[in-house]
Structure 1
């Protein structure tokens, strides 16, 4: 393929904020006396804040949409706590291999975009010193549908001005891989070859990212 753009997820690909997310959800669950089992963490990967909350409510046999205003308030509370946790992030939190891979892409004149469900994407990139590496960041609050819908990856490619067939998408979550595939983009999964079996290319870690694998 003629590679012109790389579309990155954030959590678990650029930096590992999954632990911060789950810690914030655990804090919220304790506050509202909800059960949150460790095995739910994987299901919260790669999806929006509201969709994550809906899963937690379902796990507690509470009706999704039981109180729209209350869910909105809970999402804000979770995000405020999460932002406190990530406020101390530094370039030391960048995952192995990401910086050299970004530099390699830059040297090859490949465009770089962030297609993350996180509404803190720009803030986190600033904290870890990578904001200048990205040509565009999709604002997830402006999207109609979240992952596994392909909208965010289609939007990212459009913002970069690059045809979908010339893009690669990199994800660590099954929902994200599904979204990349649905967009007609070459999918790269970082992590388990069982969980990410739908990805066209699977790598055990970000350290294996090189342009010559595409």
Structure 2
């Protein structure tokens, strides 16, 4: 484990780091797919974890030879996610780590491949204290491109020289790659992949949840 020091800033992914949103997303994908194609949706492959919704929509449509309706499914899923909103489950340590960062004046925020409406709904219902939140509509190139984290860092008033001192909490290989490409310090959360997989992707440290990360930082 690297020598301990407080980061200049902390950037968070959302799904799988702040919340367990699998049920929320899976339900919306399933109901949208059935409405559009009148048949059940395929199983969700682990390799799509952290990918943008458009990439996921393309996968599901391509399975049944309907790749030309990718955008239709993407838009309908987003609509179902809003209309039939299911509050995701808050993962351990979120309130503790955000309070610690704010107390120590360490800028922080969220950059997710989830859509902005889902992030807004979730943050409202879970009463989360995040002031700077970036979602899919804020980037031209979602993760694994580095744009999401670079955009968030700049919004928090960091310059490129600061990036190596920013922590990025990620649970997916997609997001870990994005953080690494941005020149930042990926920190793995063990909700999707194991420690070896995350470290091979670029994570410098790994924690089971944000609670253990908070305990590490606060000591």
TM-score (norm 2): 0.82
Structural mapping, 1:19-168, within 5 Å: 19-31=23-35, 32=37, 33=39, 35-38=41-44, 40=45, 42-60=46-64, 62=65, 64=67, 66=68, 70-87=69-86, 89=87, 93-119=89-115, 120-130=118-128, 133-162=129-158, 163-168=162-167
Gaps spanning 5+ residues in structure 1: where?
A: none
Moved over 6 A (4+): none
Separation (CA, whole Å) in 2 of partners of 1:161 and 1:11: 24
Deviates more, 1:191-200 or 1:155-164: 191-200
Q: How many residues were matched structurally?
A: 202
Which secondary structure does the structure 1 equivalent of 2:195 belong to?
A: coil
Corresponding residue SS for 1:47: coil
Partners of 2:204 and 2:217 in 1: how far apart?
11
Query: 5+ unaligned residues in a row in structure 2: which ranges?
Result: none
Q: How many angstroms apart in 1 are the aligned matches of 2:20 and 2:84? A: 13
State the secondary structure of the residue aligned to 2:187: strand
Once the two structures are superposed, residues 128-170 of structure 1 have per-residue CA deviations (whole angstroms, 9 ceiling, x without a partner) of 101xx22412242131111111110000000001231221101
Secondary structure at the counterpart of residue 19 of structure 1: helix
Matched residues in 1 for 2:17 and 2:110: separation?
11
Question: Equivalents in 1 of 2:206, 2:84: separation in Å?
Answer: 30
Q: Post-superposition shift, 1:71?
A: 2.7
Shift of 1:213: 5.0
Pair 1:193 & 2:201 matched: no
**Contact 2:11–2:108 under 8 Å retained in 1:** yes
How much has 1:78 moved relative to structure 2?
Answer: 0.9
Q: Secondary structure at the match of 2:10?
A: strand
Q: Note the C-alpha offset of 1:27.
A: 2.4
Match of 2:10 in 1: 6
Report the Cα distance in structure 2 between the residues aligned to 1:195 and 1:27, rounded to whole angstroms. 32
Q: Distance in 2 between matches of 1:135 and 1:129?
A: 11
1-structure distance, mates of 2:96, 2:181 = 29
Q: CA deviation at 1:211?
A: 6.8
Q: 1:152 to 1:127 in 2, by over 3 A?
A: same
Once residues 43 and 125 of structure 1 are traced to their aligned partners in structure 2, the CA distance between those partners, rounded to angstroms, is: 26
Do 1:29 and 1:36's aligned partners in 2 also have CA atoms closer than 8 Å?
Answer: no
CA apart distance, 1:114: 0.7
Task: Quote how far apart the aligned CAs of 1:94 are.
Answer: 1.9
Structure 2 residue matching 1:209: 3-state secondary structure: helix
